[in-house]
Protein backbone atom coordinates (compact mmCIF):
# COMPACT_ATOMS: atom_id res chain seq x y z
CA UNK A 1 0.00 0.00 0.00
CA UNK A 2 1.37 3.41 -0.96
CA UNK A 3 1.09 5.56 2.18
CA UNK A 4 0.05 8.87 0.65
CA UNK A 5 -2.49 7.19 -1.64
CA UNK A 6 -4.58 6.70 1.50
CA UNK A 7 -4.86 10.43 2.17
CA UNK A 8 -7.92 12.33 1.04
CA UNK A 9 -7.73 14.58 -1.99
CA UNK A 10 -8.65 18.27 -2.03
CA UNK A 11 -9.47 20.52 -4.97
CA UNK A 12 -7.80 23.91 -5.15
CA UNK A 13 -6.84 26.38 -7.86
CA UNK A 14 -3.52 27.54 -9.22
CA UNK A 15 -2.46 31.10 -10.06
CA UNK A 16 -4.40 30.91 -13.33
CA UNK A 17 -7.55 29.83 -11.50
CA UNK A 18 -7.32 26.31 -12.92
CA UNK A 19 -8.68 23.56 -10.70
CA UNK A 20 -6.05 21.09 -9.49
CA UNK A 21 -6.36 17.97 -7.34
CA UNK A 22 -3.90 17.69 -4.44
CA UNK A 23 -3.22 15.15 -1.72
CA UNK A 24 -4.12 16.54 1.69
CA UNK A 25 -0.76 16.14 3.43
CA UNK A 26 -2.06 18.03 6.46
CA UNK A 27 -4.25 15.12 7.53
CA UNK A 28 -3.24 13.61 10.86
CA UNK A 29 -4.42 10.38 12.47
CA UNK A 30 -3.44 8.40 15.56
CA UNK A 31 -3.48 4.64 15.42
CA UNK A 32 -4.70 3.10 18.68
CA UNK A 33 -1.90 3.91 21.21
CA UNK A 34 -2.39 0.60 23.04
CA UNK A 35 -1.06 -1.23 19.98
CA UNK A 36 2.32 0.43 20.51
CA UNK A 37 2.43 -0.94 24.07
CA UNK A 38 1.76 -4.56 23.07
CA UNK A 39 5.11 -6.45 23.01
CA UNK A 40 3.57 -9.24 20.92
CA UNK A 41 3.08 -6.81 18.03
CA UNK A 42 6.77 -5.99 17.68
CA UNK A 43 10.18 -7.52 17.43
CA UNK A 44 13.62 -5.93 17.67
CA UNK A 45 15.80 -5.19 14.63
CA UNK A 46 19.26 -3.64 14.29
CA UNK A 47 19.53 -1.28 11.32
CA UNK A 48 22.40 -2.29 9.04
CA UNK A 49 24.85 0.07 7.34
CA UNK A 50 22.99 0.29 4.03
CA UNK A 51 19.46 0.07 5.43
CA UNK A 52 16.83 2.70 4.72
CA UNK A 53 13.20 2.49 5.91
CA UNK A 54 12.28 1.32 2.39
CA UNK A 55 14.97 -1.39 2.37
CA UNK A 56 13.96 -2.64 5.82
CA UNK A 57 10.31 -2.74 4.73
CA UNK A 58 11.25 -4.68 1.60
CA UNK A 59 13.41 -7.12 3.60
CA UNK A 60 10.75 -7.88 6.18
CA UNK A 61 7.39 -7.17 4.55
CA UNK A 62 8.40 -7.80 0.94
CA UNK A 63 7.06 -4.33 0.07
CA UNK A 64 9.20 -1.15 0.17
CA UNK A 65 6.01 0.95 0.28
CA UNK A 66 5.42 -0.33 3.80
CA UNK A 67 8.27 1.91 4.95
CA UNK A 68 5.66 3.95 6.82
CA UNK A 69 5.08 0.98 9.14
CA UNK A 70 8.79 1.02 10.01
CA UNK A 71 8.67 4.74 10.76
CA UNK A 72 5.37 4.54 12.63
CA UNK A 73 6.52 1.69 14.90
CA UNK A 74 9.42 3.87 16.06
CA UNK A 75 7.56 7.20 16.10
CA UNK A 76 9.99 8.60 13.54
CA UNK A 77 8.73 11.82 11.96
CA UNK A 78 12.06 13.00 10.50
CA UNK A 79 13.91 10.09 8.84
CA UNK A 80 16.82 12.34 7.91
CA UNK A 81 17.87 12.87 11.53
CA UNK A 82 16.05 10.16 13.50
CA UNK A 83 17.38 7.31 11.37
CA UNK A 84 21.02 6.16 11.89
CA UNK A 85 23.49 7.69 9.46
CA UNK A 86 25.70 5.53 7.26
CA UNK A 87 29.48 5.82 7.69
CA UNK A 88 29.69 8.22 4.75
CA UNK A 89 26.76 10.31 5.97
CA UNK A 90 28.23 10.37 9.48
CA UNK A 91 31.56 11.65 8.17
CA UNK A 92 29.83 14.39 6.15
CA UNK A 93 27.73 15.30 9.19
CA UNK A 94 30.84 15.71 11.39
CA UNK A 95 32.59 17.79 8.74
CA UNK A 96 29.58 20.04 8.31
CA UNK A 97 29.05 20.50 12.07
CA UNK A 98 32.62 20.84 13.30
CA UNK A 99 34.79 22.05 10.41
CA UNK A 100 34.60 25.69 11.55
CA UNK A 101 35.61 24.80 15.11
CA UNK A 102 38.39 22.50 13.90
CA UNK A 103 40.07 25.28 11.94
CA UNK A 104 43.35 24.02 10.46
CA UNK A 105 43.03 20.70 12.32
CA UNK A 106 41.31 17.78 10.63
CA UNK A 107 37.75 17.31 11.82
CA UNK A 108 38.51 13.72 12.83
CA UNK A 109 41.47 14.77 14.99
CA UNK A 110 39.51 17.65 16.49
CA UNK A 111 36.45 15.59 17.42
CA UNK A 112 38.53 12.70 18.78
CA UNK A 113 40.75 15.02 20.81
CA UNK A 114 38.14 17.41 22.18
CA UNK A 115 36.15 16.57 25.31
CA UNK A 116 32.38 16.60 24.97
CA UNK A 117 31.43 15.64 28.52
CA UNK A 118 32.50 13.97 31.75
CA UNK A 119 30.40 11.03 32.96
CA UNK A 120 29.92 9.33 36.30
CA UNK A 121 28.18 5.96 36.34
CA UNK A 122 26.65 4.44 39.48
CA UNK A 123 25.74 0.76 39.28
CA UNK A 124 23.79 -0.80 42.15
CA UNK A 125 23.04 -4.50 42.73
CA UNK A 126 20.58 -5.85 45.31
CA UNK A 127 21.65 -9.25 46.66
CA UNK A 128 18.09 -10.43 47.35
CA UNK A 129 16.52 -9.65 43.99
CA UNK A 130 19.79 -9.67 42.00
CA UNK A 131 18.40 -6.60 40.26
CA UNK A 132 21.03 -4.26 38.85
CA UNK A 133 20.39 -0.64 38.06
CA UNK A 134 22.79 1.72 36.37
CA UNK A 135 22.60 5.50 36.16
CA UNK A 136 24.98 7.70 34.21
CA UNK A 137 25.29 11.35 35.18
CA UNK A 138 26.91 14.18 33.26
CA UNK A 139 29.28 16.02 35.61
CA UNK A 140 31.71 18.91 35.37
CA UNK A 141 35.51 18.61 35.34
CA UNK A 142 36.08 19.42 39.07
CA UNK A 143 33.49 16.79 40.06
CA UNK A 144 35.10 14.31 37.69
CA UNK A 145 38.53 14.88 39.24
CA UNK A 146 37.10 14.57 42.76
CA UNK A 147 35.07 11.42 42.07
CA UNK A 148 36.48 8.27 43.66
CA UNK A 149 35.87 5.08 41.70
CA UNK A 150 35.49 1.57 43.06
CA UNK A 151 33.04 -0.88 44.58
CA UNK A 152 31.52 -0.82 48.07
CA UNK A 153 29.10 -3.25 49.70
CA UNK A 154 26.66 -2.41 52.49
CA UNK A 155 25.39 -5.43 54.47
CA UNK A 156 22.20 -5.23 56.55
CA UNK A 157 21.13 -7.11 59.70
CA UNK A 158 19.02 -9.60 57.74
CA UNK A 159 22.04 -10.65 55.72
CA UNK A 160 21.02 -8.85 52.54
CA UNK A 161 23.39 -6.43 50.92
CA UNK A 162 23.61 -3.72 48.30
CA UNK A 163 26.70 -3.39 46.16
CA UNK A 164 27.50 -0.05 44.55
CA UNK A 165 30.10 0.47 41.86
CA UNK A 166 31.17 3.95 40.80
CA UNK A 167 33.04 4.50 37.54
CA UNK A 168 33.81 7.56 35.45
CA UNK A 169 34.87 8.31 31.91
CA UNK A 170 35.60 11.13 29.53
CA UNK A 171 33.63 11.27 26.31
CA UNK A 172 35.14 12.94 23.26
CA UNK A 173 32.98 14.74 20.72
CA UNK A 174 33.56 11.87 18.30
CA UNK A 175 32.50 9.24 20.85
CA UNK A 176 29.46 11.30 21.84
CA UNK A 177 28.29 11.69 18.24
CA UNK A 178 28.99 8.01 17.54
CA UNK A 179 27.00 6.87 20.57
CA UNK A 180 24.14 9.17 19.62
CA UNK A 181 24.05 7.76 16.09
CA UNK A 182 24.33 4.16 17.28
CA UNK A 183 21.51 4.64 19.78
CA UNK A 184 19.16 4.98 16.80
CA UNK A 185 20.23 1.65 15.30
CA UNK A 186 18.03 -0.66 17.39
CA UNK A 187 14.44 -0.30 16.22
CA UNK A 188 11.23 -2.27 16.50
CA UNK A 189 9.25 -3.69 13.62
CA UNK A 190 5.55 -4.44 13.57
CA UNK A 191 5.04 -8.18 13.25
CA UNK A 192 4.26 -8.89 9.60
CA UNK A 193 1.07 -10.73 10.48
CA UNK A 194 -0.36 -7.47 11.85
CA UNK A 195 0.80 -5.30 8.92
CA UNK A 196 -2.44 -5.57 6.97
CA UNK A 197 -4.46 -4.70 10.08
CA UNK A 198 -2.44 -1.52 10.56
CA UNK A 199 -2.95 -0.58 6.92
CA UNK A 200 -6.69 -1.14 7.14
CA UNK A 201 -6.92 0.96 10.30
CA UNK A 202 -4.98 3.80 8.65
CA UNK A 203 -7.31 3.81 5.66
CA UNK A 204 -10.33 3.72 7.98
CA UNK A 205 -9.07 6.61 10.10
CA UNK A 206 -8.32 8.69 7.03
CA UNK A 207 -11.89 8.25 5.91
CA UNK A 208 -11.09 6.55 2.61
Instruction: Kindly state the percentage of the chain with pLDDT values over 90.
Output: 62
Q: Which residues pair with 118 in a beta bridge?
A: 139, 170
Q: What is the mean pLDDT of residues 47-63?
A: 95
pLDDT band at 199 (very low <50, low <70, confident <90, very high): confident
171: pLDDT strictly greater than 90: yes
Q: How far apart are CA 207 and CA 196, in angstroms?
A: 17
Q: How far apart are CA 174 and CA 111, in angstroms?
A: 5
Q: How far apart are CA 38 and CA 188, in angstroms?
A: 12
Q: 164: closest CA among 199, 126, 195? A: 126
Instruction: Kindly state the percentage of the chain with pLDDT values over 70.
Output: 79
Q: Is 45 helix (H, G, I), strand (E, B) or coil?
A: strand
pTM of structure: 0.74
Q: Which residues pair with 126 in a beta bridge?
A: 162
For the purposes of burial, counting CB atoms within 10 Å of the CB of 52, is it exposed (0-12), middle (13-18) or buried (19 or more)?
A: middle
Question: 85-94, 120-129, 191-200 — which is least confidently predicted?
Answer: 191-200
Q: 195: closest CA among 51, 14, 67, 53? A: 67
Q: How far apart are CA 67 and CA 46, in angstroms?
A: 15
Q: Residue 101, Cβ neighbours under 10 Å: how many?
A: 12
Q: How far apart are CA 193 and CA 5, in angstroms?
A: 22
Q: How far apart are CA 205 and CA 6, in angstroms?
A: 10
Residue 173 pLDDT: 98
pLDDT, tens only, 3-36? 445 545 556 666 677 766 554 444 445 555 556 6
CB 57 within 8 A of CB 65: yes
Amino acid sequence: MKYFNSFQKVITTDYNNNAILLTNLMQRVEVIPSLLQNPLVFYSYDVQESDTPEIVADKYYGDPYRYWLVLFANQITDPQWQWPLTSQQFSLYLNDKYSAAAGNTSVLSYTQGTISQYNKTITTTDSITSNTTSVTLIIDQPTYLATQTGTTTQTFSDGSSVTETISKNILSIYDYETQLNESKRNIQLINKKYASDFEKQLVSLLGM
